[in-house]
Amino acid sequence: MFFRGWLLGLLHRRMSKSWAVGIQAVLFTLPQLLASFLLTPVQVVIYAVVYSWLAVGVIGGWAAARTQSIWPSLASAVIWNALMVAWVL
Q: Which residues of 45-76 are buried (b: 16+ CB within 10 A; e: fewer)?
A: eebbeebbbebbbbbbbbbbbeeeebebbbeb
State the total domains in the chain: 1
pTM over 0.85: no
What are the pLDDT digits (tens) for 8-56?
999 999 999 999 999 999 999 999 888 888 888 898 888 888 888 988 8
| Residue span of the structural domain in which 43 resides | 2-88
What are the pLDDT digits (tens) for 52-87?
898 889 988 999 999 999 998 888 788 878 987 898
